[in-house]
Amino acid sequence: MRFFRILIFVFLPSLSLCQEDEKNWDLTGYVKNLQTIYNLDLFGQRDLVQDNLLHNRLNFKYYINDKWTFKSDLRNRIFYGNRSIFLQNFDEDAGNDFVDLSGNIVNGEGLLWHAMIDRLYFEYASNDWEIRIGRQRINWGINTVWNPNDIFNAFNFADFDYEERPGSDAIRITHYTGPTSSVELAINVADSWDEMVVGGLWKFNKGNYDFQLLSGFFENDLVIGGGWAGNIKNASIKGEFAYFAPLVEEREKAFAGTLAIDYNFNKGLYLNLGFLFNSAGVTTGGLESLFTSQLSAKNLYPFKYAIFTQVNQPLSPLLSIGIANIYSPSQAKALFFNPTVTYSISDNWDLTMVGQLMFNQGVENYESPIQAFFLRFRYSF
């Protein structure tokens, strides 16, 4: 019930503010319907599972004055279908950071309605200073797929339906020292040192390259890292790294580093190549662990090595296709295959088809234990 009291407290005053002065507020969002078919071959048994997700988001922003802004975003997800039977024990706190801002409105056989406020903060901006207090996205990453510098809000590349990505209950202070330079301090709220994250970030430009350096405390580890982004002729090159030194004996050191190059050709063809070294990853086991491993900045992918390739091509102003692959030269030679097709029906309507196929090296040839196919309609307003 605590979540629903918070929901009323946050959104009802917001609506009354909107009615007072329509020039000082903004409300956007979308409604999405995602239909999914899973073809599973686990433990020697093949199952076909059908699932549906109705996903609604409301993004509310109120401009209090020329320096203060209030933002609150609500995420509703209604799961129904075969897979929802396995969600009866779904954690109603899923997606929360420190403050309880989520809850299950309905949780029955074959149906689950989960609501969450994943943005809730006040922002103060004046001259060269910016301060945010509350649940917010702290995006310190540079690369497209893997971000070792994203110590607050690591995300899963396979979760394509959550474009906004997770947030943290934190305070963030940014001071802009120049047109392309800044220093930033961020602290999240936590119950214990095992969940605490504190970091400082320095961004600057040198020789047409953007650089950043970070250091801090990450869940009982000391962390240092950095990244860069620039161009070699017409190609963009980006890199990130982070080293985690544990403060307790039972934890192990970890290092994650990424390098990516992308290029846009004249006719719209887009090519992206990337590499990940993840010392916390493994060299054995199958790609099923992509859904069971604990994702964090210390362990961005289940395997120690991963190679990413992506090709996107617009076929017309309304239609585009793409293929992304992640190959891990492990014992299983794991391959994540991800084709996409996107069609713009109108200004506010989009149709997306996505495939996620996972392959492991079997005794004689490749085997695919998990195949997922998605069809998504999205209406934005």
Chain segment 11-21, per-residue pLDDT in tens: 555 545 545 55
Long-range Cβ pairs for the range 290-295 (8 Å, 24+): 290/158, 290/336, 290/358, 295/154, 295/155, 295/156
pLDDT digits (tens, 9 = 90+) for 19-56: 555 569 999 999 999 999 989 876 667 788 888 999 99
Residue 2 confidence (pLDDT) above 80: no
Check pLDDT > 90 for residue 83.
no
DSSP secondary structure letter of residue 362: -
Cβ neighbour number for residue 113 with a 10 Å cutoff: 16
Q: What is the pLDDT of residues 318-339, one digit of tens each?
A: 999 999 999 998 887 899 999 9
Q: What is the mean pLDDT of residues 279-292?
A: 80
- Alpha-carbon distance of 135 to 156, in angstroms, equals 19
Q: Is 10 helix (H, G, I), strand (E, B) or coil?
A: helix
Quote the strand ranges of the chain, DSSP E.
25-42, 45-63, 68-81, 102-108, 111-126, 129-136, 168-178, 181-188, 197-206, 209-218, 221-232, 235-246, 254-264, 270-278, 305-314, 319-327, 335-344, 349-361, 366-380
With a pLDDT cut of 70, the percent of the chain lying above it is 90
pLDDT of residue 43: 63
Produce one character per residue of 339-353: b if its CB has 16 or more CB atoms within 10 Å, e if not. Answer: ebebeeeeeeebebe
Average pLDDT over residues 283-289: 78
User: Per mean pLDDT, which range of 90-104, 231-245, 276-290 is the poorest?
Assistant: 90-104
Q: What is the pLDDT of residues 350-370, one digit of tens each?
A: 999 999 999 988 767 778 888
pTM of the model: 0.86
Q: In whole numbers, what is the pLDDT of the chain averaged over residues? A: 89
Separation between Cα atoms, residue 74 and residue 111, nearest integer Å:
20
Q: Which of 183-187, 190-194, 284-288 has the highest mean pLDDT?
A: 183-187
Residue type, 272: N
